[in-house]
Amino acid sequence: MIIEVLFPEVCNLYGDLGNIEYISRSLEASGETCEVINTDLYTRPAFADRDDIDLIYMGPVTEKGQVRVIESLKPYKDRLMQMIEGGQRFFMTGNAMEVFGKYIECEEGGPRIECLGIFPFMTKQRMMNRTSSFWVGQYGETDVVGYKSQFTHIYPEDTGSFKSLFKTEKGEGINPGFKDEGIREAGFAGTYLLGPLFVLNPVLMKEYLAEMGYKDIKPLYEETAVEAYNKRLAEYREPGRSYKY
Amino acid sequence: MKGLRFCLALWLAKLSIPALKLTKHNATDYPGHLAIKICPDFLDKIDKPELVIAVTGTNGKTTCTNMICDAFEAAGRKVLCNRYGSNINSGVSTCLISGSTLTGKCKYDTAILETDERSAPRIYPYLKPDYIVVTNLFRDSIMRNAHPEYIQWIINKGVPENSKLVINGDDLISCGIAPGNKHIYYGIGQIASDTTEEVNRLVDLRVCPECGRKLVFDYRRYHHIGRAHCPECGFKSPDYDYEGHDIDKAAGTVQVTDKEGTRAYKIANDSLFNIYNTVMTVALMRDLGFSADEVQSLMDKVKIPATRFSRVAAGPCTVTTQLAKEMNALAVTRATDYIRHQEGHKRLFLLLSCYKVAKNWSENMGWLYDCDFEMMNDPLIDTSVVTGPRALDFKLRLLLAGVPEEKILCIEDEREAARQMDIAPGDSIYIYCGMVEGFGVVDDCRKIITERCEALGGKEQA
Ligand SMILES: [Zn+2]
């Protein structure tokens, strides 16, 4: 497998690069090879010239870093659109997906940051209003757990046609008024869930890799990972537990 | 005139202190909270000492506040300090209330106040500190602190234009605080263990704050601490006003050079983190006009508070309690780096499951993947005990860090884990404790472990 990690020098908050480490080490332990290409800000991404990248990954970033990510990706907007239409796999965590929307509104009526404009949603950023919660829901039939901690929420232009990545069982969706979590457009997936998500959800990782053609990959230290996952699932489902904190 | 509302707030707050103490409630926060409720601009109105020093930053605030306080007390000043109290606006107000007379006059000449970095906009504009000391800025609790760029932004919202900043010049994130204010830079010059490579997982600054291109580190101490420059736009680390160098661990000293010359000062503890704190204290005292001779003798009386790091001999073993803020990858990494370089075999007991909050929710454990648990994969670390509600998360992380499964003891019940861990004569046991005040569990586990060590009989071999 070949994974291109976009801008790991800034898109690395909340331990989320643990996702890539867990995927690549699990693949290798299962006898597959995994090449990770790290692409820096303001440099030419590998995806611009190659068609053999299995997964493009980007993690959570600071607000200043997010502006630099947009600047770095803008020259490749057409290529990104063409790849998304062609079914290229992307996985975005935290606020990374926001750069693919139309714009970020920094405060009520305040300045706007123009984004790539690939998907019809906008983002509201409220720096004095950080929200944190935990979340439980499903990817298809598979139970998923994760944390959320953010200053921002995305708002689709047309909620009716918006495709979510996960169904919410308990927790907040992509914004306080929208039930489900994440975005899925063909091979493009984005979610606010942190964890790192694939470490917290070995079952999800297995399923996601299988969708990409890597069947029967055993998550590293699967027994402990699944035990931790089951414990967390049970805790989050406890009736008395509120999900917001 | 301060007004009736202010007087009422002060008196009621003052009255509440003995009542809270009598009923064994924490009296370090509520009186200030009450005063602000009655008089919202209370912190602005209350009389302050002649010299006000605020201490903030991600790690080491409490240690630094204590060290500065020790130095001032040794200098014979009447110091008001929240060293045992809360560091948010209500805590700072409580501290000032306790230092004022019934007529609102301040009884002290100096205030040294630890201030929570996120509370800066609610404290600094009213406290108007003469000096703001910044220890460092790193990632901290994901929920509360987001990332250091956010903390830098929030501190900037509160810094008054006349406050001088005492800043770690080796931390380019702190250096970005209040760029228009007077900065006094301290730091530690290049040492043998510095590298140019990235050796830690957690590096909060990899790109130039000005242009976003990759920074080049001339040398790196740990994480983003070191000296760097940007080949693209010329941005670089500032020159030091106070430079620590020639650390002599055997003599327990660090040399500090300032514009008047070089002098050796006693260090309170030989971890680099604490040597920074020593250099910071020297820089502050010297900038305030104390002579090098005076500061040299004051530094002899400066100590690291025992709640941060305490070691007791127990039978043929030693038991060390190491405060390592949970949810804070930096604190746990630095503690482990220090411990692994100590001589002899060690066993680690990790009490880092965020007990304060675990009952209601689960703190984001993503920090485990920013923390260098790989350092626990060390031939001289014989056991790592993971326990508490998040024990399995720690176990998985240790396995991924390469720690052999047979060296990990995973038992959810903390006291049971303390009873079951392997202990042998000559062991150095380190209890990583994520919280300052007890919650019973730290004291209980330490007691169980200490008694088990003592039961082994014999004296510790030095
Ligand atoms: Zn630059």
The 3 state secondary structure assigned to chain B is CCCHHHHHHHHHHHHHHHHHHHCCCCCCCHHHHHHHHHCCCHHHHCCCCCEEEEEECCCCHHHHHHHHHHHHHHCCCCEEECCCCCCCHHHHHHHHHHCECCCCCECCCEEEEECCHHHHHHHHHHHCCCEEEECCCCCCCHHHHCCHHHHHHHHHCCCCCCCEEEEECCECCHHHCCCCCCEEEEEECCCCCCECCCCCCCCCCCECCCCCCECEEEEEEECCEEEEECCCCCCECCCCCEEEEEEECCCCEEEEEECCEEEEEECCCCCHHHHHHHHHHHHHHHHCCCCHHHHHHHHCCCCCCCCCEEEEEECCEEEEEEECCCCCHHHHHHHHHHHHCCCCCEEEEEECCCHHHHCCCCCCHHHHHCCCHHHHCCCCEEEEEEECCCHHHHHHHHHHCCCCHHHEEEECCHHHHHHHCCCCCCCEEEEEECCCCCCCHHHHHHHHHHHHHHHCCCCCCC
DSSP 8-state assignment for residue A162: P
Residues flanking ion ligand 1, Cβ below 5 Å: B 208, 210-211, 230, 232-233, 235
Given a contact cutoff of 8 angstroms between Cβ atoms, the answer to whether B293 and B259 are in contact is no
Secondary structure class of A190 (helix, strand, coil): strand
Q: B145 contacts in A (CB within 8 Å)?
A: none
Interatomic CA distance for residues B140 and B264, integer angstroms: 33
Nearest Cα of chain B lies from the Cα of A103 at a distance, in angstroms, of: 21
The pLDDT value recorded for residue B360 is: 54
Under an 8 A CB cutoff, do A228 and B368 touch?
no
The pLDDT value recorded for residue B462 is: 41
Distance of CA B238 to the CA centre of its chain: 23
Most B CBs within 10 Å, among A7, A9, A20, A125, to test the B interface: A9
Residue partners of B148: CB distance under 8 A and separation at least 6: B58, B137, B138, B139, B140, B173, B204, B205
What region, left, alpha or beta, does residue B344 occupy, with left being phi > 0 and alpha being psi -120 to 50 degrees?
Answer: left
Q: For chain B, which domains are there?
A: 4-189+240-299 (3.40.1190.10), 309-455 (3.90.190.20)
Under an 8 A CB cutoff, do B393 and A10 touch?
no
Q: How many CB atoms lie within 10 A of CB A171?
A: 22
The pLDDT value recorded for residue B1 is: 62
Question: What spacing in Å lies between the alpha carbon of A37 and ligand 1's midpoint?
Answer: 24
- A62 contact B CB<8A: yes
DSSP 8-state assignment for residue A213: T
pTM of the model: 0.94
Under an 8 A CB cutoff, do B362 and A9 touch?
no
Rounded to 5°, angle at Cα B423 from B396 and B453: 135
- B455 contact A CB<8A: no
**What residue of A is the nearest CA neighbor of B147?**
A62
The pLDDT value recorded for residue A189 is: 98
Strand order in the sheet with B317-323: B309-314, B317-323, B428-433, B346-351, B381-387, B408-411
- A11 contact B CB<8A: no
- B233 contact A CB<8A: no
Q: How many CB atoms lie within 10 A of CB A52?
A: 8
Given a contact cutoff of 8 angstroms between Cβ atoms, the answer to whether B402 and B377 are in contact is yes
H or E element, residue A93: strand A89-93
Task: Name beta bridge partners: A194.
Answer: A147
Interatomic CA distance for residues B462 and B460, integer angstroms: 6
Task: Name beta bridge partners: B411.
Answer: B387
DSSP 8-state assignment for residue A106: -
Under an 8 A CB cutoff, do A224 and B153 touch?
no
- B84 contact A CB<8A: no
Could you tell me the end-to-end alpha-carbon distance of chain A, in angstroms, rounded to an integer? 38
Question: What spacing in Å lies between the alpha carbon of B216 and ligand 1's midpoint?
Answer: 10
Given a contact cutoff of 8 angstroms between Cβ atoms, the answer to whether B322 and B402 are in contact is no
> What are A166-219's pLDDT values in tens digits?
999 999 999 999 999 999 999 999 999 999 999 999 999 999 999 999 999 999
Under an 8 A CB cutoff, do A241 and B395 touch?
no
- Report the b/e string of B193-216 with b at 16+ CB within 10 A: ebeeeeebbbbbbbbbbeebbbbe
Closest CA to A18 of B220, B365, B331, B352: B365
Tell me which residues of chain B have a pLDDT lower than 70.
1, 306-308, 355-362, 435-439, 459-462
Q: For chain A, which domains are there?
A: 2-236 (3.40.50.880)
The pLDDT value recorded for residue A237 is: 93
The pLDDT value recorded for residue B306 is: 66
Is the ipTM beyond the 0.95 threshold? yes
What would the DSSP string read from start to end of A139-160?
Answer: ETTEEEEEEEEESEEEEES-TT
**What residue of A is the nearest CA neighbor of B232?**
A42
- 3-state SS track over A24-50: HHHHHHCCCCCEEEEECCCCCCHHHCC
Interatomic CA distance for residues B30 and B20, integer angstroms: 9
Q: Residue A62: which of B149, B364, B371 has the nearest Cβ?
A: B149
Q: A22 contacts in B (CB within 8 Å)?
A: 400
The pLDDT value recorded for residue B26 is: 76
Task: Name beta bridge partners: A112.
Answer: A105
Q: A245 contacts in B (CB within 8 Å)?
A: 143, 357, 360-361
Nearest Cα of chain A lies from the Cα of B196 at a distance, in angstroms, of: 16
Interface subset of A 132-161, CB within 8 angstroms of B = 132, 134, 147, 149, 151
Interatomic CA distance for residues B119 and A196, integer angstroms: 29
Residue partners of A160: CB distance under 8 A and separation at least 6: none
Under an 8 A CB cutoff, do B360 and A242 touch?
yes
Most B CBs within 10 Å, among A69, A128, A221, A222, to test the B interface: A221
Q: B400 contacts in A (CB within 8 Å)?
A: 21-22, 25, 220-221
Q: Percent of chain A scored above 70 by pLDDT?
A: 100
Q: Residue B146: which of A42, A130, A200 has the nearest Cβ?
A: A130
Question: What spacing in Å lies between the alpha carbon of B173 and ligand 1's midpoint?
Answer: 14
Q: B138 contacts in A (CB within 8 Å)?
A: none
The pLDDT value recorded for residue B437 is: 54
- Report the b/e string of A9-48 with b at 16+ CB within 10 A: bbbbbbbbbbbbbbbbebbeebeeebebeebbbeeebbbe
The pLDDT value recorded for residue B303 is: 85
Q: B361 contacts in A (CB within 8 Å)?
A: 134, 241-243, 245
Inter-chain contacts counted by CB atoms under 8 A, chains A and B: 111
Question: What spacing in Å lies between the alpha carbon of A113 and ligand 1's midpoint?
Answer: 22
**What residue of B is the nearest CA neighbor of A240?**
B360
Torsion of CA B145, B149, B150, B156, to 10 degrees: 120
Question: What spacing in Å lies between the alpha carbon of B236 and ligand 1's midpoint?
Answer: 8
- B393 contact A CB<8A: yes
Most A CBs within 10 Å, among B362, B397, B403, to test the A interface: B362
Interatomic CA distance for residues B290 and B139, integer angstroms: 34
Under an 8 A CB cutoff, do B366 and A225 touch?
no
- Report the b/e string of B107-127 with b at 16+ CB within 10 A: ebebbbbbbbbbbbebbbebb
> What are A70-117's pLDDT values in tens digits?
999 999 999 999 999 999 999 999 999 999 999 999 987 778 999 999
